[in-house]
Structure 1
């Protein structure tokens, strides 16, 4: 393996005794030397079990040290690491296994019951989290021949959420993952002093690539979180002296409602990051009241997922902005006619850089549709202001065309979410003979708040043009979420058909 690709081994040489990974649930710790030794042992074990360059090795596990064991082990021998979304149904997991055809599947003991229904899709498996696995990670292998590995060889394959169709396997090369980490470190000014706690699922790019790998590359410490609660995250941030954290908006929504959040000063925290979906403005306001640095970013499995930088001092005057493109990537905003969007015009966001994905597994057509001349067509709509700060407007597929007017749900959601009686909101377009699409808002009222539709209409009239005001309000006890905490608008559309 080329020495520059095995950066964990180099980091272990530079910071051998520094804590690299800690488990929140039992406080187990591993230094960089120990982390590299574990992955080297697993690499030898995989080779002895016939795993060759290009073979897929899958993992079904909650957040655990085994993610790093297997990712770095696959990196050493040229195999492809495939983390599986354990929140999917057995049928969905079965379909993914048939698609990626792994030669080995690691299963955490917590998911032993689930695995019994998957055995027909995978010929060989091993268990994570027990005595036998500890024997594997502590075994020494001498004179193991490792194949030559290029930076363009695949390292990992992460399956997309699949809320708009069948999940696609996003193939990430060594170059993709390494340059996302380098770009993040330099653009975000990360240092070896960083400590983060990661509650994002590690089968998702936000859990694996957004902060975990960049912080490990620079020599910081990653605490792997267990079950998330607003109260727990405050306690763990203080216990581990965290400096930076990435959460999704739904997590922040829960966090700012806790007494612990309002009582803590978070003395070690440099910045709170939000990702995966646009963040409600009331979260910004909560952090502003506390005097805490807060900002949001933008990314996707196919690119990074880190693409923009904004200094936290700019977030109050540029509220809702994800900032400017990072140091080593380029961004374009393109209108439907193919022309570049001008200042404050909306266009599809295109991204280019060495951090971009290679291709979709077994799906050449989808690859050609998404990646054109090196540019990733994200399907997200954005605009930029006079100073070059970018704002995500919403998904291209979510844009509502009502009465010939383009309506962007995010603008409406931000305003309705600021209503004192609204806990959560999602806006979608539903088919309508007269309007083409009907602007429809799904509302979760705050506890004990009786909110009437007429009140919401009057409230919307204060800020929104008439064609943007929802013509239908549907109240729910909760909004459906995807496995990474995004509001699942596909399920909302399905629900509306049943009502």
Structure 2
């Protein structure tokens, strides 16, 4: 069975996830920001026959529940259960808590995570039990978790980043705290009250904490932060200036930068290392049990200092894109995973991101897929053509900017476009509107490189890493 999970961060999430794995089934975590159409697509794509969902998703599930006949079991976790679903709480109250004793091998399929495809719809990334187990060992090796540690998990659990960092704690049997909220005072209070030792942040969350300190909104003396030993960041380039600010207020903290992809079972295939803070700005060196290389257009190793595509190889590389051999063949080559990121390596072996080969925009750690936003905007009566690109942003890393070519008869404004986008999920709405001609090459493809150069987004990642 493929069993999907559609829940906000909650205490039920992890027991459900590990219960699925323990049963020998395949867990399918779903992004809680998905629209009803995207949920339906992912359920069909993954061949899910079971879904556990929460109250936040009742309306979306009601809209599609008669369109997903392959999903035989719908479980509802929470109060006010809809009539079309069974009660997860009532049914599990009568379940045996003993190990089912199902033998599971490392090479067996364990989980499907979703990422972007070239069509704008997500690809289904298939991981084995061996992949997931490798994340436990890599994370624990990098950050030295012991039984006495306590990990604060703020990011969504559907994401590989959050869980795979926590996996190091799972391996050592140490505690974790789930926090549903991003306010600096909530984070600091939780760290203080729960004696948290490890916190994983995104760049904007770290910036918000520092801004709150400097603006007098929080006073560090009000909290007991003596247990907090490690702060690490991933999911987007980390400006060195941010870490310099951080060390001013938290001089005793260890710090690490993490790099990874959902296809590499999350973060850790490359990391800076707590001992290498002098190299902040780099994503680091290959992680524990990982290899990395930078190759030119011919697939040959690039010289130090030369820019090429970053490839990684290790025990966390996905088995395949589920039911998509063509997409799998495009990114897997002799065990090496093509990341789509352009990078360079310095004389000390540290790797620096330069730019993204793919068009995915990473805003505040979330992937935005331009083609989805473009397709939506193209339905506007006055838009002739549109291209969505990432522009630098000091807080989120980058933001989505829509370059719009108007039809001759239409003289709409930025405000009108913003109002039109209000039906999009908030995180997908472009933050900047630019009225300009959209350049295309002779084969009809949008020349986004020209737009990035024109609006200051050339080598965007390198610019962020140098700040």
Quick check: 2:115–2:124 contact (8 Å CA) kept in 1? yes
Name 2:374's counterpart in structure 1.
none
* Aligned-residue offset at 1:96: 1.2
* Aligned-residue offset at 1:342: 1.8
- Pairing 1:253-332 to 2, within 5 Å after superposition: 253-259=207-213, 263=220, 266-290=225-249, 291=251, 292-305=253-266, 306-315=268-277, 317-332=278-293
Q: 1:139 to 1:240 in 2, by over 3 A?
A: same
Q: 1:426 to 1:63 in 2, by over 3 A?
A: closer
1: CA distance, partners of 2:98 / 2:149: 36
* Aligned-residue offset at 1:160: 1.2
Quick check: 1:398–1:429 contact (8 Å CA) kept in 2? no
2: CA distance, partners of 1:355 / 1:430: 35
Q: In the TM superposition, what whole-angstrom CA distance separates every residue of 1:215-269 from its partner, at most 9, and x where no partner exists?
A: 1121111111112222211111111111111122122232221135663573211
Q: How many equivalent residue pairs? A: 376
2: CA distance, partners of 1:231 / 1:271: 18
Name 1:388's counterpart in structure 2.
349
Q: In the TM superposition, what whole-angstrom CA distance separates every residue of 1:250-301 from its partner, at most 9, and x where no partner exists?
A: 2223222113566357321111111111123332122121124333210110
The two structures, once aligned, show a CA RMSD in angstroms of 3.4
Given the alignment, which residue of 113, 121, 125 partners 2:74? 125
Q: In the TM superposition, what whole-angstrom CA distance separates every residue of 1:174-195 from its partner, at most 9, and x where no partner exists?
A: 0000011112112322211221
Counterpart secondary structure, 1:257: helix
Counterpart secondary structure, 1:349: strand
Name 1:220's counterpart in structure 2.
174
Q: 1:429 to 1:57 in 2, by over 3 A?
A: closer
Q: 1:163 to 1:128 in 2, by over 3 A?
A: farther
Name 1:101's counterpart in structure 2.
47
Counterpart secondary structure, 2:260: coil
Name 2:130's counterpart in structure 1.
175
* Aligned-residue offset at 1:93: 1.2
* Aligned-residue offset at 1:105: 0.8
Structure 1: which 5+ runs fail to align? 1-54, 400-408, 418-422, 432-475
Given the alignment, which residue of 319, 338, 342 partners 2:303? 342
2: CA distance, partners of 1:136 / 1:110: 20
- Pairing 1:69-468 to 2, within 5 Å after superposition: 69-120=15-66, 121=68, 122-130=71-79, 132-141=87-96, 147-161=102-116, 165-209=120-164, 211-259=165-213, 263=220, 266-290=225-249, 291=251, 292-305=253-266, 306-315=268-277, 317-397=278-358, 413=392, 417=394, 426=398
Quick check: 1:200–1:484 contact (8 Å CA) kept in 2? no
* Aligned-residue offset at 1:145: 6.7
Task: Give the TM-score normalised by structure 2.
Answer: 0.72
Quick check: 1:201–1:484 contact (8 Å CA) kept in 2? no
1: CA distance, partners of 2:433 / 2:102: 49
Counterpart secondary structure, 1:299: strand
Name 1:442's counterpart in structure 2.
none
Quick check: 1:307–1:325 contact (8 Å CA) kept in 2? yes
1: CA distance, partners of 2:179 / 2:122: 26
2: CA distance, partners of 1:483 / 1:154: 32
Task: Give the TM-score normalised by structure 1.
Answer: 0.68
